[in-house]
Amino acid sequence: MKKLKELESCLQQVDGFEEPKILLEQYPTSPHIAGCMLYTIHNTFDDIQNKLVADLGCGCGVLSIGAAVLDAGLCVGFDIDEDALDIFKGNVEDFELSNIDMVQCDVCSIGSSYAKKFDTVIMNPPFGTKHNQELRYDLPASYKFHKKKSVDIQVDFIRFTPT
C-alpha cells in the first residue's frame, strides 16, 4: 500500500461504534486522520512494518487495522469496552487480517511494564474530559493524538521517543 489515498479508502471500510458510550468518551477516529497518522509513522519513521505495535484505547480498531494493513509484525489492541472489541473483531474478520490480537483491560491500570516491550505504541485515547484521568506512560516510540474540537478540526501529532 504505497499511497495515502489507498490507505484512507481502505480504512473507510472499518466499522465504527454503533452506540458510542459517552462516559467512556468513545468517538471514531476518522479514516482521514487515521490514514495520515499511520502513513506518517510508517513512511517517515518506519515504525510500523515488521514492528510490534500496541494500540492503547483501540476502540473499534481503525488504527490497528491500518497498522496491520501496513504490515506490522503484530498489532495488539487494548480497550476496556467489550462492545467495541466485538466490532473490532468483526473488522479483523472482514479484512482477513491475522497479524492482530486484542486484550480487554483498563489501560490506566495495566502499567507500563508490558508497553515497554512494544516497538511502537499508538493511541487516540479519551482525553479525560469525563474523568480527568492523566495517562502517563514511560514508553518506547509513542504517538499520541489530540483532537481539538472546533470548526476547523486540527490534530496534533506528537511523537515521543525514549531519551
Give me the residues that bind another protein (CB under 8 A), please: 50, 52, 73-74, 76, 80, 82, 85-86, 89, 98-99, 101-106, 109-111, 113-114, 117
Read off φ and ψ for residue 33, nearest 5 degrees.
Answer: -65, -45
Question: Measured from the CB of residue 97, what is the shortest distance to another protein in angstroms?
Answer: 10
Distance in Å, CB of 81 to another protein, minimum? 10
Rounded to the nearest whole angstrom, what is the least distance from the CB of residue 112 to another protein in the complex?
A: 12
Nearer to another protein by Cβ, of 102 and 139: the residue is 102
How near is the Cβ of 149 to another protein at its closest, in Å? 29
Cβ 103 to another protein shortest distance, Å: 6
| Comparison of 13 and 50: residue with beta carbon closer to another protein | 50
Q: Closer to another protein by CB, 33 or 141: give it.
A: 141
Q: Which residue has the cell 499511520?
A: 38
DSSP letter string over the chain?
Answer: ---HHHHHHHHTTS---SS--GGGT--PPPHHHHHHHHHHHHHTT--SBT-EEEEET-TT-HHHHHHHHTTBSEEEEEES-HHHHHHHHHHHHHHT--SEEEEE--TTTS-STTGGG-SEEEE----STTT--------SSEEEEEEE-SSS-EEEEEEE---
